[in-house]
Structure 1
């Protein structure tokens, strides 16, 4: 069934007490349960639905959209862990099952994991797979330092944050280069720092070179325009700078140096303020 795991526009063939039967491309039908109907539909109408399998592995259509479609990645939370596998919350009444054999590591309830939605060809049902590296490719050579990339942050390790780029490349943001909270499951703009020989990417949360300092300077100036004064200077504790501005002390000093040269701020013994010259 080519509609399985996808958002489809299907025609209503007929109605029953249980709902509406929709026409599939192979000549079969799939049930859209009554709870998903408004009561205004007619035979021949086209409805947009997601098709998956119910608790008895029968095809069923719903108007809800899951967090990931077939062959998509998403960061999902484990709702239940059994001796057979884990059930993940993917936004539908029936949770997505990850069999033990498809787990990259043991899962815990309440924790989030990178999951790819796949078809179990033995049962023809949708399952989740956390062995993400089975689907990862080396990043192309043209992924050069300074390039922008959209990344899905999916795991925190001792080294840093693992990131999925373009649904097929793996990257890492090193912990000692993170000066602001990063949420697991969030997608954000990142910059490539280095492409390793194995095709993995070293990433950073700030752009390289002048753009980085311009953005940092704009942030500091915006806060100063609002508050008038910041109790930060080149002798401030790095942890204090990170807590207030979400940047390293080195970055902070470079930014205020840039603002001072442009005569946009005044640097005093207790902090910085906006220049009124």
Structure 2
């Protein structure tokens, strides 16, 4: 079955004046010659993105789409009016966002995190910035501490909302962030806590002691590569530490404290120094 708004693996069934006819064994659609890859032959299978064009025809393209249906994505407005906005999908086909599906008014040239879906009436692709309508709120497929993929969706008074694994939504708190985030960024994250009411707290850093062990290894590697000295210490700011290692000051202090207790490093206000390289013995 050919899926609209998705990538499909289809067989080249025939050539005609407009392009190639691609088949899934039941129906055929057109791949225009402008999108046909070199050396394509009858009988070959080809991966294409399928959509309905402005004339109502089902068309295939080999161009790279910026999103599929059922995806959350960060897309740019190429045109806007009182009725709705059009977002660039990267394939010469724009996605329509009706005014009723805009959480806030969309403006040409600006980008927004949206959910892409099919209109049940005509199978055309639409998008919505009312993300809460499309997220899942139970049956979580992760546990606390698990690594997840994040799409930063918007800033709030508490922090930044982020789409989790293209399915759920969670929160990164301002007071736990040491990096400048912005909507549309894709980040690796971790599940910090799943609350009783279903709210999800997120972290940009791994949780637990294993993270401290990893951080210790990173610090030792950096020390060896920098002549045994790193210009960060007890009085360094959280921002300075995050800029260098992408970890919190708390994680930095736990790792350096462990190395100090093992008598591997010496620590001062603005510097840590390698004293004994335990791998050199």
8 A Cα contact 2:236 2:269, kept in partner? no
**What pairs with 1:32-181 in structure 2 (closer than 5 Å)?**
32-38=31-37, 40-140=39-139, 143-181=142-180
Q: CA RMSD in A?
A: 2.8
1:209-237 CA-to-partner distances (Å, cap 9, x unmatched) read 21232233233323222223223222334
Q: Which runs of 5+ in 1 are unaligned?
A: none
Shift of 1:172: 0.7
1:89/1:142 CA distance change after superposition, 3 Å: closer
Tell me how far apart the structure 1 counterparts of residues 118 and 32 of structure 2 sit (CA, whole Å). 23
Deviations 1:130-160 (A, max 9, x none): 2221122224478543333333333333322
Per-residue CA deviation, residues 66-86 of structure 1 (Å, 9 max, x unaligned), is 122222222223333332222
Q: Distance in 1 between matches of 2:268 and 2:235?
A: 11
CA–CA separation in structure 2 for the residues paired with 1:217 and 1:6: 44
Taking the aligned partners of 2:91 and 2:189, their CA distance within structure 1 comes to 31
Partner in structure 2 of residue 253 of structure 1:
253
Q: Deviations over 1:155-181 (max 9, x none)?
A: 333322212223322111112111234
State the 1:16 CA deviation: 2.8
Change (3 A) 1:39 1:174: closer
Q: Measured at CA, do residues 3 and 237 of structure 1 come closer, stay the same or move farther in structure 2, by a change above 3 Å?
A: closer
The answer as to whether partners of 1:24 and 1:30 remain within 8 angstroms in 2 is no
**Which stretch has the larger CA shift, 76-85 or 35-44?**
35-44
SS in 2 for 1:224: helix
State whether residues 13 and 42 of structure 2, in contact with CA within 8 Å, keep that contact through their aligned partners in structure 1.
yes
1:70, 1:119 within 8 Å by CA — same for their partners in 2?
yes
Deviations 1:64-114 (A, max 9, x none): 231222222222233333322222222211122222222222223444323
User: TM-score w.r.t. structure 1 length?
Assistant: 0.85
Contact between 1:140 and 1:199, CA under 8 Å: does it hold in 2? no
Shift of 1:205: 1.4
Distance (Å, rounded) in 2 between the aligned partners of 1:162 and 1:70 = 21
C-alpha deviation, 1:257, in angstroms? 0.8
How many corresponding residue pairs?
276
Seen in structure 2, the aligned counterparts of structure 1 residues 173 and 54 have a Cα distance that, compared at 3 Å, is same
Q: Name 1:3's counterpart in structure 2.
A: 3
Match of 2:241 in 1: 241
Flag structure 2 segments of 5+ consecutive residues without an equivalent: none
- TM-score, scaled to structure 2: 0.84
CA distance in 2, matches of 1:39, 1:210: 53
Which position in structure 1 is the counterpart of 2:274?
274
1:73 to 1:114, Cα distance in 2 relative to 1, 3 A: same
